[in-house]
Structure 1
Amino acid sequence: MAARVLSLALLASGLPSTLAWGALGHEAVAYVATNFVASTTKSYFQTLLGDTSTDYLASVASWADSWRSTTAGKFSAPFHYIDANDSPPSSCSVSLSRDCGSGGCVVSAISNYTTRLLTSSLSKSERQIAAKMVIHLLGDIGQPLHCEALDVGGNDIDVTYDGDSTNLHAVWDSNIAESIAGGSSLSSAKSWAATLTTAIKTGTYKSAAAGWVSGLSITSAQSSALTWASESNAEVCSTVLAKGLSYVEKNDLSGAYTTTATPVVNLQIAKQGYRLAKWLDAIAAAA
């Protein structure tokens, strides 16, 4: 098993399109957050981002993926994940000292960019970058394979989805999300987020939502982010690789596997959207 564990950093610069929730997932997280932020938070971030439309969060939700493929943003590639060097499916765990590399990781980056957002001495353009990173990274940390080192976060696990060859990371980034939303457009993300919003307000998630933000603190940002990373990582053992590597490599994942994974993806998007709303509320209040 250990021989199969590689750092995502090895491929970070070469796989810009497969190291995050796809745009659909990030946009859905952002739209869920849009539906829960306070009115003062909405005004604060619309002003900071220079966008008074209702898409002010969703329109920048995937910006960080483009930025990391540029010369200026290349350094940020490790910020999208944390390499949990555990042993799924038998054992899953995240350790900041063990798993957050010298170049940083999603846990440390959430803390750093939250601090930068609150640093009034920084230029508006620098705080805009910080806002875009926070919006994006709170989505990334909810993707289970962003919190796993095995086979480059699943990028090196060859699988089949609906008859097409792909990799396990891409299936969790995009295929399952698109099967839930019924498409990959901005409108699909908005519709998906609306369904999740209803579930949080009056449906399946109503009783659980308060627990999602229990202990949430922008002054202890690293601790909060580590908790979220640990939750996501646990899903690698309980869902992503629950039946082992051979199962995902030998079966088309568009069938029973997606049926099992769907509630997990819904939950992770809902959680991180709600958490993003409360995170942005706390930032706006402090600012």
Structure 2
Amino acid sequence: MFVHLAIAILGFLGSSPAMAWGKTGHRITGAIADHYLSSRARTEINHILGTESLAEASNWPDFMRSSTDPFWQKTASPYHYVTVPKGKTYSEVGAPSEGDAVTALRRFSATLRNPKAPRADKQLALRFIVHIVGDLQQPLHTGNGVDHGGNEVPVTLFGLKTNLHSVWDSGLIDQEQLSYSEWTQYLLAKIKPQQVVGWSSPNSLVWIAESTILRDAIYPSTPNLSYAYTFQNHAIIEQQLEKGGLRIAAYLNRLFVARPKHHTTSR
């Protein structure tokens, strides 16, 4: 059994310290969101992305981090997280001069609302929005400003060396050995109507406040993590993935409400 767990976990040990949910986590949130889109939002999204699904779009901003273009190497790097020191709120600290996930959401939302924006710009904006909303449900993407979102907190997971950020990006998800589609069906079946109502906030300040509370509670008392830690946090992982999907849909549904159809250009 340990051998199987080791194989499942090895994939995240070398992950970039700046990434949020791993590929599986982001695909889960995108796929869940697809089930809660309004008809207007779906029409707009299909016109922008064509056959590309939200699950596929969700990982594009992380994939593009390997590009040598200055936009990806410098400008877009802060768009994946926010920093909220312990005891503070995002409203109190605000965004740094280089921007963060909240300022990026505003920027990309403005692009999607602009009827004159080229389709390529709208594709970038939509992919980034799907990704960022997912990012902000991962508690360690609301960093405390001390340890780079848990990247500087060394731990072991079932004896394998990693860091706390990677555990939350991928480790706790991938050890279940489920595909993103299996995860999606599993979580969709568990989401209750009252949760859809209660969790579908399109307000990033609500997400950040919740993630800050969770963040401060998930730092382990020991660096050696195994069954006790995964058991303790399994329900949180599920909840945050569910919220990620619902909130992507809520954000896009609000963004595209009462928007004219087919308003993008083909440039």
Sort the TM-score into its range (normalised by shorter chain): 0.7 to 0.9
Structure 1 position 18, deviation (Å):
4.4
Q: TM-score, normalised by structure 1?
A: 0.78
Q: Deviations over 1:71-112 (max 9, x none)?
A: 2322111010011222xxxxx543245252111111221122
In structure 1, how many angstroms separate the alpha carbons of the residues matched to 2:157 and 2:94?
30
- For the residue of structure 1 that corresponds to 2:147, the secondary structure is coil
In structure 2, how many angstroms separate the alpha carbons of the residues matched to 1:155 and 1:208?
31
Q: How does 1:60-209 map to 2 (within 5 A)?
A: 60-70=57-67, 71=69, 72-74=71-73, 75-86=75-86, 92-98=87-93, 100-148=95-143, 149-180=145-176, 182-183=177-178, 188-200=179-191, 205-209=192-196
Q: Match of 1:284?
A: 256
Question: What 5-or-longer segments of structure 2 have no aligned partner?
Answer: 1-14, 260-267
CA contact (8 A) 1:29 1:139 kept: yes
Q: Deviations over 1:221-276 (max 9, x none)?
A: xxx112111111110123x12x5xxx242x2x231101111111110110110111
Q: Match of 1:40?
A: 40
Structure 1 position 40, deviation (Å):
3.2
Which residue identity is paired with 1:229?
A: I
CA contact (8 A) 1:48 1:128 kept: yes
Percent sequence identity over matched residues?
A: 29
- For the residue of structure 1 that corresponds to 2:108, the secondary structure is helix
In structure 2, how many angstroms separate the alpha carbons of the residues matched to 1:226 and 1:271?
14
Structure 1 position 38, deviation (Å):
2.4
The answer on 1:212 being equivalent to 2:194 is: no
Question: CA 1:129–1:233 in 2, change beyond 3 Å: closer, same or farther?
Answer: same
Q: Count the aligned residue pairs.
A: 241
The CA RMSD measured in Å over matched residues stands at 1.8
In structure 1, how many angstroms separate the alpha carbons of the residues matched to 2:99 and 2:125?
15
Q: Match of 1:7?
A: none
Question: What 5-or-longer segments of structure 1 have no aligned partner?
Answer: 1-14, 87-91, 217-223
Q: TM-score, normalised by structure 2?
A: 0.84
In structure 1, how many angstroms separate the alpha carbons of the residues matched to 2:141 and 2:44?
29
Question: CA 1:159–1:95 in 2, change beyond 3 Å: closer, same or farther?
Answer: same
